[in-house]
Amino acid sequence: MALTSRFRRLGIGRPGDPRPAGRRNLRMSFAVTFIAVVAVAAFLSPLLRSATIALKNTDQLTEIDAPLWPATPTTYELEGRTYDVYTVPIDGTNRELALVKKGQKESDFIDPANPDAGLIHWVGSWRSLNHVFRLDPQWNNFSDVWELIDYPRLLFNTIAIALIGMVGVLLSCTLVAYGFARFRFPGRNLLFTILIATIFLPSMVTLIPTYTLFVKLGWWGTWLPLLVPTFFANAYDVFLLRQYFLTIPRDLDEAAAIEGAGPIRILRSVIIPQAWPVIAAVAIFHIVYSWNDFLGPLLYLSAKPELQTLAIGLARFEGIHFSDPNRIQAGVLMTLAIPVVVFLVFQRVFTRGIVITGVEK
């Protein structure tokens, strides 16, 4: 008993007692959670700031002592006149009073909650007082952007280009990855190495030749330069799909071949049904890439406003309405909403596809 009491006074418990280790694990878990929360808060702080600006009007943005959240100074109407409401310290308490008579050293106020009480005389400079603000989000910023830049048309163009390109990427990359994962032919490893090596080729190197080619073909001013290349597989998505296909046992292919299935039937009935996680990951990758693509639409659609995407429309809108940061941020949030929702909806499938692809092979 004496030894136990001594250990308890020292805060280490009895010999062999698991509680100190449990407390250490609890402190470690708390520290990791705290650091993660701080990191996430720091990462999301620009987005929160963007949201607060999008919900303000010009007067709220230029208000000197306005809070970070969208707010408007509270006012009080008396006998047809409007007075500002301030936080006034009186007898050790702060009261919200309307300033009806301004003075350099003395001012008169009235209590909006009890106007029949008459004027309240206060000694001090009213300029040192703080306004009382009320929550006043300006949701009309979003409707203004919707109309000013023809948002429905830009949204349709962006979704159409993203979805058609996604179909092209899935078709071409799946076929190429299936060939590298399941067929043996001379030079397979060399061809795959060359394909992967193209990832390291900067896009700016091929920009001018590609642009010249599309201009010569007469595709400038159309969606073709943005859609046709998606039907010719890219190295990154082929790599992801091939690595996943390699995790699928070949016994299933052989069993289907015995039943008379050909290569295409095996791909359609055996490989693809088991590869939905990585297919969803590739689809999300392309949708996000296409949604954020700015250079491609700028090069080929700059003279065709009716064919432009949201990225180009927002850039044009920012150039015209540069003095309205609230509307600019509203347009950014509207454009950001769809890819974020897509990612959240398919997050589990997306994560599963990436983890299996990167870990098992």
Per-residue pLDDT tens for 94-119? 889 999 988 888 899 999 888 888 88
User: What pLDDT score was predicted for residue 359?
Assistant: 43
The structural domain count of the chain equals 3
Residues 280, 19: Cα–Cα separation, whole Å:
45
Count CA atoms within 13 Å of residue 8 on its CB side: 5
For the cut 50, the answer to whether the pLDDT of residue 306 exceeds it is: yes
Of 236, 339, 333, 241, residue with least CA distance to 288: 339
Are 44 and 191 in the same domain? no
User: Which has more pLDDT, 69 or 23?
Assistant: 69
Are 248 and 160 in the same domain? yes
Q: For residue 151, how many other CB atoms are within 10 A of its CB? A: 20
Which pLDDT tens digit goes with each residue over 278-293? Answer: 898 899 889 989 998 9
Find the mean pLDDT for residues 44-57. 85
In a domain, 70, yes or no: no
Q: What percent of the chain has pLDDT over 70?
A: 90
For the cut 50, the answer to whether the pLDDT of residue 361 exceeds it is: no
CA distances from 344 to 32, 280, 348 (A): 24, 13, 8
CA distances from 133 to 65, 266, 311 (A): 10, 67, 35
User: What pLDDT score was predicted for residue 43?
Assistant: 73
Helices 151-182, 310-320: axis angle to 10 degrees equals 140
Nearest 5 degrees, angle CA 203-CA 158-CA 204? 10
pLDDT mean across residues, the chain: 85
Are 89 and 177 in the same domain? no
Residues 179, 191: Cα–Cα separation, whole Å:
11
For the cut 70, the answer to whether the pLDDT of residue 351 exceeds it is: no
Q: For residue 326, how many other CB atoms are within 10 A of its CB? A: 21
Are 24 and 98 in the same domain? no
Are 336 and 277 in the same domain? yes
DSSP conformation class of 56: -
Among 3-17, 21-35, 84-98, the range with the most confident prediction by mean pLDDT is 84-98
In a domain, 143, yes or no: no
Residues 245, 271: Cα–Cα separation, whole Å:
7
User: What pLDDT score was predicted for residue 291?
Assistant: 92
In a domain, 65, yes or no: no
Which pLDDT tens digit goes with each residue over 149-179? Answer: 889 999 999 999 999 999 999 999 999 999 9
Are 25 and 101 in the same domain? no
User: What pLDDT score was predicted for residue 297?
Assistant: 93
Are 17 and 106 in the same domain? no
Are 222 and 299 in the same domain? yes
User: What pLDDT score was predicted for residue 26?
Assistant: 77
Q: Which helix (H) or strand (E) holds 300?
A: helix 295-301
In a domain, 139, yes or no: no
Count CA atoms within 13 Å of residue 304 on its CB side: 14
Are 160 and 17 in the same domain? no
Find the mean pLDDT for residues 293-318. 91
In a domain, 21, yes or no: yes
In a domain, 219, yes or no: yes
In a domain, 305, yes or no: yes
Residues 249, 140: Cα–Cα separation, whole Å:
56
Which pLDDT tens digit goes with each residue over 181-232? Answer: 998 889 889 999 999 998 888 888 889 999 999 999 999 999 999 999 999 9
In a domain, 144, yes or no: no
Of 335, 302, 28, residue with least CA distance to 162: 335
pTM for this one?
A: 0.77
Are 194 and 306 in the same domain? yes
Are 238 and 322 in the same domain? yes
Please, which residues have CB within 8 angstroms of residue 67's CB and are 6 or more apart in sequence? Answer: 133
Are 14 and 80 in the same domain? no
Of 341, 196, 181, 162, residue with least CA distance to 275: 181
Domain that holds residue 123: 75-131
CATH code, 285: 1.10.3720.10
User: What pLDDT score was predicted for residue 294?
Assistant: 92
